[in-house]
Each structure stands twice: as structure tokens, then as C-alpha cells.
Chains A and B, each alone.
Chain A
Amino acid sequence: MSSSLPLYNSKMSTQVLDKQECLVQISDDNDAEEEIMESGPFEPQGNVRIATGLVKKSPKDDNATVIRFPKVPKSRSNFISLQSWEGFVVEKKDKTFVARVSDLTHDNPEEEAEIPLKEVSEGDMGLLEQGAVFYWHIGYLHEASGQIKRHSSIIFRRFPMWRKEDIEKARLEAQKMMELFVRE
């Protein structure tokens, strides 16, 4: 972050001026309670407080006008899929996992595959258990640098954490239906 950032007041409204540069015009608005949040710590530097951190309430100050969030344009890679499957884990072994996979690209029958664990990203490893569903794509990865390479991608499906009230609601619903069946 630039050290020349001006101070800002928490009671301000924001308007994104320029998405490319991510300049944010902050104007006085005494009725607005703003919480500007960004990852990283909040550091004072003399007269300038740099909003690099999670800020709930900043100190009141009248001078702040524009905060620049330097955005280094990051070209992203893109991936063109040649072949894809949907699969589920049958068994996890030491260095591989066994899965049943269905072809999503062509009309082929379901197959069994044994896939090396190193094909799975670290972030997804915790999801790899019996019954877990994943998508497997093989295709070309066009990197931001311009390089094109063949790439295999395995991504496990994520389902949101059930809330206790959702589980209880489902349990009650199931109980009602069970009572209906028993009666009949």
C-alpha cells in the first residue's frame, strides 16, 4: 500500500470511481456508519492511517477524501476443457483414490478410475473421503504469461455447513413423514 494515503473518516459513504485503479471517493456523510474492511493490519504512519486492515471504526478526521487501493492488474489464466467427468470417491488409499466417474463430454458408460492423490489440491484434500463428489477436467491451461499447457483439474464439490436449525428442521420433517407412513 502507498504511504501517501490520506486519512479517512468512518462516517462516510463510498463511491467506486474507477474499478481499474479501484479509487474510492469517500465523502462526508454524517449519517452513514461505514465499515471499510480489507485484509491485513491497520497501521498508523504519522498523520496518515493506511487502511490495510480490518477496520471497524476509524478515528474521526475531516481531511479524508480519496483512498487509493492500488490494484496491480492481474491477468488471469483461462482453461479450455476438452474432456470432463463427474465422479465420486469409492475408496481412499495411501497414494491414490478409487472413484466411479461419469463422462460429461461424451456418451460413454460409467467407469472406475484410480487417481493419484497428488492430483488433488491441498485445499481440497480435507474433502476427499468416501462418497465425496468431484469434477475432473482435462484440457488446456492458457497462462497469463501466454504459455499454454495441458492440464488436469480435480475439484471437489463443496456444500455449505448445515446450521443446527436446518438439521433440526429436516429431522422434524422426516419424523412427520415417517409417522405418515407408519399410519398408512
Chain B
Amino acid sequence: MDISQRKLQEHSIVLIGDFNPAIFQPLWLASVELISKSDAEAAEIDIISKKAAIFTVGEIRIEVLQTRFQAQTIREDHFETLRDLVVGIFGLLNFTPITQIGINIAMHFLLDSEDKWHEVGHTLAPKKIWEGVLNNPGMTDLSMIEDKRRDGYKGRIMVMVQPSVRYNPGLYFFINDHFEAEGNRDIITILEKNWKISIDRSREIISKLLTGLL
């Protein structure tokens, strides 16, 4: 199995900092020309308040809390748009304190059989140690981290593997490419300089795991 057989790929950019959710509104995004007027008018708004702003514009979902901003999409043709939107927003709101950023990729795969699915679980989490401890143990989640980045940035890379909740029998990979920096300018610069590198690296990680597992 290879990466081209993915059933779904999701991309999200998560920022940790100090936000004012109330200002994140579709009409504001349109007024600064970051989205089209038609997308703003057709936006699906769940809530916009001082504490939370959750809405979908076009194919991008935005969730803002006072300490967390997330933009996500499951449309691969909108991955660049998502990046541009985040860069654009925080280029304008360059006074926003942001301390961390996650450039995240997730993929779902449908496996041929349940046997293959169990085989993956056994490879990632050998069951011998669990004999006599649990009856019929099964892996539900495995996370691994590389805690010292090779590119000189502060942060880490985390890889999570789980059974897919969307496809059965299926596999789910989630890569959190986490950077830390001081000041908003560094974070946005990190995003601009590393977005493509990060996406490519995450895809390579998943590709290598697929080769090793299946």
C-alpha cells in the first residue's frame, strides 16, 4: 500500500497564543480580502463570541478559543489556501502573541482485510508482554515523538497511529509538526518558510510507515 491509496487527507494549522475570538468573523476576512465576499456570505457560523469563534468558510473550518486558533480542511486543493489564510490573518494581526504552531497532516487508509489490520497492530505493539495481563489485547493508539528537531528549530515531531474511525478496517496517521518561537513574527515566518517542507516530510513519514507495515 502506498500514500496514493489514501482515502482522506486532512490538514490543519494550530496556533497557541492569546486570541480574541470575537474579531474572527467571515465578514472581517472578506473586508481584508482574505476570502471572497460570496464565501463570507455563505459562511456556516456555529458561534462567535468573546470566548469562542467557530465557523466554516468555503472548505476551511476555523475554530478560535482564547488560547488556541485552528484552521483545517479535508480538501487537498485547499491546503495552500489554508496556509495563505493563516499567514494573511496573522500578518494583519501581527500584534497577536503566538508562542507555538503545529503544522498537521492526517490521513486515513482502508485496508484489504481485518487480518491486515491486526497485523499492523501486532507490528506496532507486540502482544507478547500483554499475555496474561489482558484478554485479547488490541492497540487503540500509538504515539511516537522526535523531541529534538533536526532543523534547528525548537519543537518536536509527533506521529500518532490509530485504527481509523472513518474506514473499517482502516488506519489513521496523524503527524503533528510542532514549532516553538518567541513573538508573532517568528511563528508566521516559520510557517511561511517551513510549510511545504513540513507537509512533504509528514507525507514521507507516513509513506515509510506504510511500506514498513503493509
Contact = CB atoms under 8 A, between A and B. Distances in A.
Given A78-B8, A79-B76, A79-B77, A122 B38 contact: yes
Interface string B45-67: 11111111010000100000000
Q: Which of the four size classes fits the interface of chain B? A: 35 or more
Contact of B49 (A14, A123, A124, A153): A14
Given A79-B76, A161-B33, A69 B49 contact: no
A69 B47 contact: yes
B56 to A, nearest CB: 8
Q: Which of the four size classes fits the interface of chain A? A: 35 or more
Interface string A3-17: 000000000011110
Contacts of B144: none
A91 to B, nearest CB: 23
A16 B34 contact: no
B51 A14 contact: yes
B72 to A, nearest CB: 11
Interface string B20-58: 001001100001111111110001111111111010000
B77 A153 contact: yes
Interface string A64-89: 00000101001011111100100000
B192 to A, nearest CB: 12
B50 A35 contact: yes
A158 B88 contact: yes
A14 B76 contact: no
A76 B74 contact: yes
Interface stretch (B78-86, B116-124, B135-143): B78-86
A35 B80 contact: no
Contact of B76 (A19, A38, A123, A137): A137
B78 to A, nearest CB: 7
Given A35-B49, A76-B59, A79-B77, A123 B6 contact: no
Contacts of B44: 74
A125 to B, nearest CB: 9
B32 A81 contact: no
Interface string A114-129: 0000000011101000
B77 A155 contact: yes
Interface in A132-184: 135, 137, 139, 142, 153, 155, 157-161, 163
Given A16-B52, A122-B38, A38 B45 contact: yes
B28 to A, nearest CB: 11
A24 interface: yes
A44 to B, nearest CB: 21
Nearest to A40: B45
A16 B84 contact: no
Contacts of B59: 76
Given A123-B37, A123-B38, A160-B92, A14 B77 contact: no
Contacts of B46: 19, 22, 69, 71
Interface of B: 6-9, 22, 25-26, 31-39, 43-52, 54, 59, 74-78, 80-81, 84-85, 88-89, 91-92
22 contacts: A14-B49, A14-B50, A14-B52, A16-B52, A39-B45, A69-B46, A71-B46, A77-B75, A78-B74, A78-B76, A79-B75, A79-B76, A81-B77, A122-B38, A123-B36, A123-B37, A123-B38, A124-B36, A142-B7, A158-B34, A159-B33, A160-B91
Closest 4 CB pairs of A and B: A123-B36, A137-B77, A153-B77, A81-B76
